[in-house]
Structure 1
Amino acid sequence: MQTKHPFSPRPPVQEEDWIASLSDAIQEGLLRLCTSRLKAFAALMLFALVCFLPGFNSIPPVDRDEARFAQASKQMIETGDYVDIRFQEGTRYKKPVGIYWMQAGSAQATGMGAEAPIWAYRIPSLIGALIAVGFTFLIGMRMASVRVGFLAGLGMAACILLGVEARLAKTDAMLLASIMAVQWLIWELYDHQNGLTPKQAIIFWLALAVGVLVKGPIILMVAGLTIAGLSIQERSVRWLSGAHYKWGVPAFFLLIMPWFIAIGIHTDWSFYIDSIGKDMLAKVATGKESHGAPPGTYLGVSLATFWPVSIFFILALPWVWAERKRKAVRFALTWIIPTWIIFELVPTKLPHYILPVLPAMAVLTIHAMECRATEFSALWARLFALLVPLVAIVLGVGAPIGLIVLEGTVLPASLGLGLVAAALAVLSYSVLRKGRVIAAFVLACLITPILYLNVHGAIFPAFKSVWLSSALVEEANRVKSCETVELASIGYTEPSLVFLGGTDLKFLNAERGAHFITEAGCRVALVERRQNTAFMEALGEKANLIQKSSTIEGYKLNGGKWQSFGLYQLKLN
């Protein structure tokens, strides 16, 4: 089918002057880089690391999911029990064991064991994000060309959502890596229809097992919907015959079943009640944990979370629709649409749920750009493309200004980085207006390392008031009267406090907190201001035995409110 080509391959130099020279230089650089798969892949991995590493080891544990995952992994190391999943004395039966094994392994590999800082537990997420970018490159290359693969991978490395997940000790980056491996091999089956090689089949079934052990049935849903959709369109399942099912299916179950059986026996099958009944089905039935939202939410959310690729994807939609019967486009749409619809219909919505379809969107976007069919002549497209500089300006300049307003902290270098990012974003838009879409896309992606160095590397760690758990534990260690201190928290129950303060940290009410602090031992009670009256009343006549050593104030992100804490301990004789 013929498509509209709104640009000539080389707009006249007299119309574009320096923009034409810059765009041509970017195109020449891409041409040289993408003549070698190895060079393109190496450059992509380097770019991804530059995007993902800022803030990786300086951002404290983030509440609540990251801190819960990391603490449960930490307790596996402490107890030596790698079957059960627990948060302090309670169970954590929401996800399978895969990510906990990986996090415990990465913490052990640092040589620090259970005492490892939070960045050690983030290593699997970083590796998962890098693998996902690498498979995006591979899929794009197999579906189109090395250049399509490189630019699609560049977009995923620059993507805001993947950048966040790469820095959090959670499941989603590693889940994406396993999904990408499976989707690559589904494409190989679909495109060539002559079967997987034995090595490819091993990767396919191993990745499927890893995905299930990391996050349960999500990988089966994404892969299953893709296979079902393609089979319906082909009116045949014969293209699947080369997946080595005879040994692949038994190997898959052999990999996943030992732990699933062991955790069932160990917990008298309560793991399945919690993980399936209380977590998965609850999310399907209602908006769980205040994360409910109506259908269509992801359409709006993805504009920000998939920036900057989302802007170019919208511009590519006319070509995608026109070329929907093309094999590569049909595969990508079958990957995207069913999974997207299901997540839109599920009441519980979190931004990272749609992460598994973003690589397919990136490949489609670059495919359209390579065909020089990215629509930009309409007024709506020109106005929409203003989101490229707008987001960069808000993040780059707004973040350091917010730090000044909220913390009173001035970081001149951060403001400078923000201005550089904003200027580069304006340049990207200027190039885009001249119809040099690929050059504009590359420039937009190059904004992100600067933004992430600024926001993740400098701004977030400097927002001291939001890292309440870190401040409380640091202050407790400063005022403690002996080497080892026992901590109790009254009125503040964030899981990051457990990870930082130790597994034995106690969450108590005012009465039990009063009893805790007056017992013998080196103890500090962290008392939230609204609990202070009840705490002092519970102390009664023993109030004269304790002293308020310090006060900490900060902003609790979960719940969105300012809080003040008194740190109490026994008076020294």
Structure 2
Amino acid sequence: MSDLGPFPHDPNYANEQPHWHEQRPRSQEEPDWITSLSDAIESGLKSLCSSRLKAFFALMLFALVCFLPGFNSIPPVDRDEPRFAQASKQMMESGDYIDIRYQDGTRYKKPVGIYWLQVLSATATGMKEEAPIWAFRIPSLVGALLSVGFTFLIGMRMASVRVGFLAGLGMAAAILLGVEARLAKTDAMLLATIMAVQWVLWELYENRTGLTKGQGVLFWFALGAGVLIKGPIILMVSGLTIALLAIQERSIAWLKGSRWKIGFPLFLLITLPWFIAIGIHTDWGFYLESIGKDMIGKVASGKESHGAPPGTYLAATIGTFWPVSVFVILSAVWIWKERKQKAVRFALSWIVPIWIIFEFVPTKLPHYILPVLPALAILTMLALEARSTSWTRLWGKIVALLIPIVAIILGLGAPIALIVLEGSINPAAFGLGLVAAGLAMLSYAILTRGRVMAAFVLAAMTGPILYLSIHGTIFPAFHSVWLSNQMVEAAEIVKPCESTEVASAGYAEPSLVFLMGTDTVLTDGKNAGQFLLEAGCRLAIVERGQEKAFFDILAEKQAKIEEVTRVEGYKLNGGKWQSFGLYRLKM
């Protein structure tokens, strides 16, 4: 065996268990087609999970099918994604890979790790700072794939190949991870580092014989990489997991084999050089902004209009972790009853403290809870494998309705929204939406007849169909909401010369800076007018509300200015329709 050590459980354990239909006699009301379909799914799972490699590669293929639609066609999504990408772009433009800047200002909310990865991915494409947004998304895609892979590995080591495969399937199909895989920001790659650490922690907790050299290096390397990507979050997740397990065990003896004598210096080697360099480079201003303003600000109050009361994540996760969330609810009673099982105890020690902390932190964003979702997925698959869900009660059947309800809302609501906003009909999206809705209703029908495993697989299969429709065809077609794209396209047509300076009055979205260029001037109507009159080849983009100030400053010189085109669309940040004139000196 490799450094991974021997498997504590038979990897084919699940395949040797009697299938659901063998445990429960078929009711007379159950149609033959349900029996045939459920048996076919069970047979397919048995074949697929007979080999670890076969299951792993099938899972990675499924994850790619879920994550790739729209990956290179959805424009930069304001506001966080283009801020990250623009800061990475400026590193390549300036050659300064220590400081983090957005235009002339600083961006000290997060450490440097994700920016270095984005620089690496953009450079690998050969386009460097000229790379399109998808090149900066590659680290997020890789992070999401690694997260799915580690979910498979942890589930397999806790129970069986089948549990790991199904938990990974749920993570790949989950809405939230699919969104993060398509955004050039920290969270998907952070999750990958957390999952690497949590896997090694499980090995340490389960085996009690200490880590192999390879496991020790991975543990401390992932811990350092996670800190370099998003500061103390990874330390909080792993630290609280260890603390809660230690309290329950009344011992920390199982931590002795963590190889800290080699690993801790490796951790310091990864993290300290940049943290010292940025402190010196900024006269320690980085820490004042990242810790003093950003972190403490989020803990003390709802920041950036993202405040919400405790309990928000319980409600939000129903949608963001769909379709797994439905089965989490149905499995909750079993999870609580089996909380003393070693695997269940470990997963709950991973989930509970983090969940409580984030519920009581005033600032709430959906992705904050992402680090605990793989543990929820594994727990749920353990419950499904034990054939213990609460679908038979009335409340269970009502909860299970969320499978088709969400699929119908997403699958048919998105193309309808396209008609409302754009006035265009997308037959392919409607077709895919109907297929997804049909699969979800089939999943519900099978679930209410007791075929829980088959129902979960069908629910997961709705994911890639929905994402092909929504991310692959609907989102790129929402032209009116991609205002920055419209402005750049219009500017390319009407710019007075090849190298044109651009000022934007009344529109300061980071996507415009990323697409138009680092030197884009973000200003108001008055200064846009002065900008246009100064020497040089210039173009001003002026929002309708700023046009009075724009023309007032021009005064008698208005005759020298011409409006060459107009861009109109819906601004998602702020939720209103806006109109912009593009102005230049008459030629």
Q: State the TM-score bracket (shorter-chain normalisation).
A: over 0.9
Corresponding position of 2:26: 12
Residues of 2 paired with 1:6 and 1:315: CA distance?
16
How far is 1:522 from its partner? 2.0
Residues of 2 paired with 1:511 and 1:529: CA distance?
13
Would the aligned equivalents of 2:211 and 2:258 in 1 still touch at CA under 8 Å? yes
Residue 553 of structure 2, aligned match among 530, 538, 555: 538
Q: Is the counterpart of residue 291 in structure 1 residue 306 in structure 2? A: yes
Residues of 2 paired with 1:405 and 1:288: CA distance?
32
Corresponding position of 2:8: none
User: Which residue identity is paired with 1:465?
Assistant: S
Corresponding position of 2:585: 570
Corresponding position of 2:408: 393
1:484-531 Cα offsets, whole Å, 9 max, x none, are 221100011101000000000001122221111112322110000000
Q: Kindly report the root-mean-square deviation, in angstroms, between the aligned alpha carbons of the 2 structures.
A: 1.1
Residues of 1 paired with 2:453 and 2:87: CA distance?
44
User: Which residue identity is paired with 2:67?
Assistant: F
Residue 38 of structure 1, aligned match among 53, 62, 71: 53
Residue 464 of structure 1, aligned match among 470, 474, 479: 479
Residues of 2 paired with 1:466 and 1:309: CA distance?
30
Residue 121 of structure 1, aligned match among 136, 139, 145: 136
Q: Is the counterpart of residue 66 in structure 1 residue 81 in structure 2? A: yes
Corresponding position of 1:246: 261
Residues of 2 paired with 1:304 and 1:535: CA distance?
45
Residue 212 of structure 2, aligned match among 176, 197, 204: 197
How far is 1:6 from its partner? 10
1:309-365 Cα offsets, whole Å, 9 max, x none, are 000000001110111100000000000000000000100000000000000000000
Q: Is the counterpart of residue 404 in structure 1 residue 415 in structure 2? A: no
Corresponding position of 1:492: 507
Percent identity, aligned pairs only?
70
How far is 1:375 from its partner? 1.4
User: Which residue identity is paired with 1:489?
Assistant: S
- Could you state the TM-score of these two structures normalised by the residue count of structure 2? 0.96
Give the secondary structure class of the aligned counterpart of 1:489. strand
Residues of 1 paired with 2:38 and 2:330: CA distance?
19
Residues of 1 paired with 2:391 and 2:182: CA distance?
34
How far is 1:378 from its partner? 0.7
Would the aligned equivalents of 1:141 and 1:148 in 2 still touch at CA under 8 Å? yes
Residues of 2 paired with 1:478 and 1:341: CA distance?
53
Corresponding position of 1:22: 37
Would the aligned equivalents of 2:76 and 2:82 in 1 still touch at CA under 8 Å? yes
Corresponding position of 1:417: 432
Residues of 2 paired with 1:382 and 1:289: CA distance?
39
- The 5-angstrom pairing of residues 60-459 of structure 1 reads 60-459=75-474
After the TM superposition, which of the residue ranges 509-518 and 25-34 deviates more from structure 2? 509-518
Residues of 1 paired with 2:245 and 2:561: CA distance?
70
User: Which residue identity is paired with 2:360?
Assistant: L
Would the aligned equivalents of 1:6 and 1:377 in 2 still touch at CA under 8 Å? no
Cα gap change, 1:11 to 1:522, in 2 (>3 Å): farther
Residues of 2 paired with 1:436 and 1:159: CA distance?
21
Residues of 1 paired with 2:478 and 2:191: CA distance?
30
User: Which residue identity is paired with 1:482?
Assistant: C
Would the aligned equivalents of 1:7 and 1:372 in 2 still touch at CA under 8 Å? no
Residues of 2 paired with 1:479 and 1:23: CA distance?
60
Would the aligned equivalents of 1:389 and 1:422 in 2 still touch at CA under 8 Å? yes
After the TM superposition, which of the residue ranges 520-529 and 493-502 deviates more from structure 2? 520-529
Give the secondary structure class of the aligned counterpart of 1:488. strand
User: Which residue identity is paired with 2:114?
Assistant: I
1:379-436 Cα offsets, whole Å, 9 max, x none, are 0000111000000000001100110111101111111111111111111101111110
1:73-128 Cα offsets, whole Å, 9 max, x none, are 00001011000000000000000000000001100000001000000000000000
Give the secondary structure class of the aligned counterpart of 1:265. helix
User: Which residue identity is paired with 1:560?
Assistant: G
Residues of 1 paired with 2:66 and 2:538: CA distance?
42
Residue 561 of structure 1, aligned match among 576, 580, 583: 576
Cα gap change, 1:6 to 1:448, in 2 (>3 Å): closer
Residues of 2 paired with 1:511 and 1:416: CA distance?
50
How far is 1:177 from its partner? 0.1
Residues of 1 paired with 2:299 and 2:64: CA distance?
35
Would the aligned equivalents of 2:20 and 2:451 in 1 still touch at CA under 8 Å? no
User: Which residue identity is paired with 1:391?
Assistant: V
How far is 1:13 from its partner? 6.9
User: Which residue identity is paired with 1:77?
Assistant: M
Give the secondary structure class of the aligned counterpart of 1:442. helix
Residue 51 of structure 1, aligned match among 58, 63, 66: 66
How far is 1:255 from its partner? 1.1
Give the secondary structure class of the aligned counterpart of 1:290. coil
How far is 1:50 from its partner? 0.2
1:149-168 Cα offsets, whole Å, 9 max, x none, are 00000000000000000000
After the TM superposition, which of the residue ranges 475-484 and 414-423 deviates more from structure 2? 475-484
Would the aligned equivalents of 2:446 and 2:452 in 1 still touch at CA under 8 Å? yes
Residue 510 of structure 1, aligned match among 525, 534, 547: 525
Residues of 2 paired with 1:117 and 1:247: CA distance?
40
After the TM superposition, which of the residue ranges 241-250 and 527-536 deviates more from structure 2? 241-250
Give the secondary structure class of the aligned counterpart of 1:482. coil
